[in-house]
Amino acid sequence: MKEQPVENKILTLKKAFEARFGSSEGLRFFAAPGRVNLIGEHIDYCGGLVFPAALTLDTLVAIRKNGTPSTVRLAATTIDGIRTFDINNIEDARSLDWGNYQAGVVRELIRLGIDVGGFDACYLTTVPFGAGLSSSASIEVSTGLAVSELFGGKLNGVEIALAGQRAENTFCGVNCGIMDQFASAMGKKDHAIVLDCNTLDYKYVPLELGNHVIILANTCKKHALGASKYNERRREVAEGLEEMQRIEKSRGVSEPHKTLCEYSVEELRDYMCEISDPTVMMRVIHVVTENARVKEAVKVLEAGKLDEFGELLRKANNSIRYLYEATGFELDAMFDAAVTFDGCVGARMTGGGFGGCTVNIVAADRVEDFKEYVGTRYTAATGNVPEFYVCETGDGARELFI
């Protein structure tokens, strides 16, 4: 699947807005991307390091004030009709079949002191839903930027990312970490971001793959984080942190670590056998070792050691597969096919798991061979027909000008 030029997307979105809301006078356009997490899965909510990159797959929103004090009307190119909610009764928007992410963000902006009034907005997204590429974060961040700018809020990227995370946590019921919204808000073309989710310290790392490209392989099995085992994993690692802290205290440590990712691999080896629940122990092992892999991955990628980076991707996938148990049959089949292709440097699942995509580093001159080889084997194993996206990294949330 090839991403269409942004000018074409703006034109399509403008026509869709006019079809639903009439004139496009005063219309402004904003965009926020989906993301791929190269390595560092399911540790953003454990205070860990993650290594995402923003994509050129994105969500665009066309927006304007509608002259009402509190009526919000939402539409999209992929759904029929218009969804409406009243800012004064915003809690009622939780029950919308589509639009609750936007409503949650509006609520957070109001809580930040922005005087939000009525507006009309229409959305176009090229981030595949349920693929683990953060379509929800791209909606939240594009909404946050658009509404903030429309009503004079002037929030920075980090503030918008945090507002999106709070909306997803408290309004939409998904207990996600900060990585997805941060990458969507703060992404930079041709770079990945190494982000400390505990402190929000970050730096950009040039993503130089030489004669290789990133291919996202979509299992076409959608994951639904709110209805999946995502929140269950959150509970398990919280229990794991309590266990590690208990062990530290029993050994005379007066101030135990506050997050799981503060523990070193050496401390993990020393403490893990005292964790009573074997399932919780597996979750803790994944979190601590994955954090260590992110640190190593940044070093080898900066040194141009792509083969070593690919090996770390494979190790990370095995950890999320066998210790965190967050893959599933389809993701496993996709990974197993990819790593046997001789032009694939490395692969792993990416995103929340239980469906979605794998990220694959593939020789640029073998792209079509990779699609055929992996697609044939994946379909034979699962019966599903996959989709492939040859991806470029892109910029984070921004206003678009015609």
Query: Could you give the residue numbers annotated as active site?
Result: 180
Tokens of residue 368, six digits: 């079509």
Question: 396: which residues sit within 8 A by CB, 6+ positions away?
Answer: 32, 33, 54, 141, 157, 183, 184, 185, 186, 187, 188
Residue 204 and residue 197 in contact, taking contact as beta carbons nearer than 8 Å:
no
Distance CA 212, CA 371 (A): 14
| Chain centre to alpha carbon of residue 234 | 16
Crossing angle for the helix pair 179-186 and 135-150, to the nearest 10 degrees: 50
Distance CA 308, CA 100 (A): 42
The DSSP line for 170-210 is HTS-----SHHHHHHHH--TTEEEEEETTT--EEEEE---T
Residue 123 phi/psi, 5-degree rounding, is: -115, 145
